[in-house]
Amino acid sequence: MILLSDKRIQEVNCIDNKERVISLRDKHEKILIDETRSQISSRSDLFCYARESVINKLIQATNYLPNGYKFLIKEAYRPLSRQRKSFEEAFQEYKRQYPMKTDSQIYDLTCQYVAPVKVAGHPTGGAIDITLLKDGIEVGMGTEFNDIPIEPENLTYLHSNYINNVAKENRKILISCMEKVGFENYPTEWWHWSYGDCYWAFLNNCNALYEPVDEKSVK
C-alpha cells in the first residue's frame, strides 16, 4: 500500500494546466452535495468546488450508477490553511494516543488519515470525498464518512475484509463508477478519489496536472 508519506509522491513533477475550479452544484441530477457540512472541518463556502475535468469525469461516472443510486459529495476543494491545520491536529492527537511511537511513526500514521500539505489533493481541486445515495438515503459503506482507520480491522480501507457484505457491494459500485472514468482511490479511505493530483500522477506514472490553488484565486 502506497501512502502519502512516500517520498516518491513528493518528487512527482507538476505542470498545472490552469483549469478553472468551479462549483459542483447543479451539474447533474445524480450528483448531490451534502450542504450540511456536518462531517467536515472546512468552513469554506468553496467546499464543493473542483477542477473542470474532475466534474466532467464525475458526470461521466453517473452513467455507471445502478438504478436508484446517486452520488453524494461530502467535500472537494479545501483551502491550504485548513489542510495544514487538519494535519497538525491529527498529528497531535495520534501523538497523544500513541506516546511510545516516534515522530516519524506518528507522521506515517497521520498520513493515513490526513494528507501532508505538499501532496494533498483537496487543495488542488483534484480530489473529492464521495459516497452513495439509494432512493435518497445514504447507503451503508462499512463506516461513517471520515472515520479514522483503526488497526487491525482498518474498516475505512477500501478493501477491508471486516465490513459486511452489503457494505462490500456498495463499495464495489463506487469503485466501478470511479475507476471506469479514471479516478484513483486513496486506499485507506474508501470515500477519497482523485484525478490530476500528485497521488494520481504517481500511480499513473505521469506529471500531476493540478497544483494547490489559493482560495482567493478561486473566488
Question: Which of 137, 139, 146 lies closest to 186 in space, CA to CA?
Answer: 146
The pLDDT tens digits of the residues spanning 18-40 come to 999 999 999 999 999 999 999 99
> Which residue ranges make up the annotated binding site for Zn(2+)?
122, 129, 192
pLDDT attached to residue 140? 98
pLDDT in tens, 47-70: 999 999 999 999 999 999 999 999
What pLDDT is stored for residue 165 in this prediction?
97
pLDDT value at residue 186: 95
pTM score, whole prediction: 0.91
3 state DSSP class of 213: coil
Q: How far, in Å, are 197, 207, 210 from residue 17 at the CA level? A: 11, 11, 7
DSSP for 152-163, written as a single string: TT-TTSTT-SSS
Q: What pLDDT does residue 112 have? A: 77
Q: Which residues are catalytic?
A: 189
What fold does the segment set 7-82+116-218 form as a domain?
Muramoyl-pentapeptide Carboxypeptidase; domain 2 (3.30.1380)
Nearby residues of 124 by Cβ (< 8 Å), 6 or more positions away = 51, 196, 197, 208, 210, 211, 212, 213
Question: Which pLDDT score, from 0 to 100, does residue 120 have?
Answer: 94
* Exposure of 30 in the CB half-sphere (CA atoms within 13 A): 17
pLDDT at 41: 87
Is the bond preceding residue 152 a cis peptide, omega within 30 degrees? yes
Q: Which residues are annotated as a binding site?
A: 122, 129, 192
What is the mean pLDDT of the segment spanning 77-99? 92
- At 128-184, the pLDDT tens digits run 999 999 999 999 999 999 998 888 899 999 999 999 999 999 999 999 999 999 999
- Res. 195: pLDDT tops 80: yes
Residues 95-125 pLDDT 10s: 999 999 999 999 988 887 788 888 999 999 9
pLDDT tier at 75, thresholds 50, 70, 90: very high
Share of the chain above pLDDT 70, in %: 100
